[in-house]
Amino acid sequence: MLDRLIKGHQIKMVDDRDLLELLDKHFPIPLRTFLGNLKECCEMFGTDYYEDYYKQLESLLLDGSNIEQFCVKLAAVEAKIKQNCKSGGYSTNLGEIKTALVAAIFSLSNMERVTIFMSDDRRARNFIVSRYSEKYHEIKAVSVIGAFYILMKNGMPLEEARRYVDALKTKEYKLFDKGEKMTGLEIVEGIYANKIALLANGMLKCRD
């Protein structure tokens, strides 16, 4: 579904180049602003990625490198991070770090309202919401199934929501306060019946 929406230009993919070009409209040295916030996000998640890998990119500030050159070097650095993590037998948390960076840059660029689709891993989502809110400003998360709450608030008819949730690959989801899982259709119907609410961390919860 996501690939189809991207190909149909209903969703725009945002990469590091887009973020840098956005910063370029608001800051005199966009590369410095990008790296400064990347450092904050790495520290937020307790990693040494910045000191061990990204810090070398600071030399590009002195070389007068442009955005294109910076992006090439940045991609090489992140490929090295992934390679070393894979060799060490552990996964990276670059996804969470870059998600926090996107949120920070959008905020710095004066975007009044930003909705970010986060990991459907509840622990990862809780972590980024709590740590980002401490470092920058309060942020609220939206999971895939939680998005139907927002769609309902924005006027999507129940029948259309049923069609969308039926097309999702994942069929069952866990609510915040329930031990057993519920089907996507049950959750959507609960949302539209005002029996399920959306929490700040993207989880859904049955109303009291």
Q: Is the model more confident about 187 or about 119?
A: 187
**Whole-structure pTM value:** 0.71
In order, the DSSP letters of 30-86 are HHHHHHHHHHHHHHHTT--HHHHTGGGGGHHHHHT--HHHHHHHHHHHHHHHHHHHH
- What pLDDT is stored for residue 57 in this prediction? 96
pLDDT value at residue 143: 81
Mean pLDDT of 151-161: 96
Q: What is the pLDDT of residues 91-141, one digit of tens each?
A: 888 988 888 898 889 888 876 666 666 566 666 777 777 777 777 767 777
Cβ contact 107:133 at 8 Å: no
Q: Is 98 helix (H, G, I), strand (E, B) or coil?
A: helix
Please compute the mean of the pLDDT values over residues 135-162 and round it to a whole number. Answer: 87
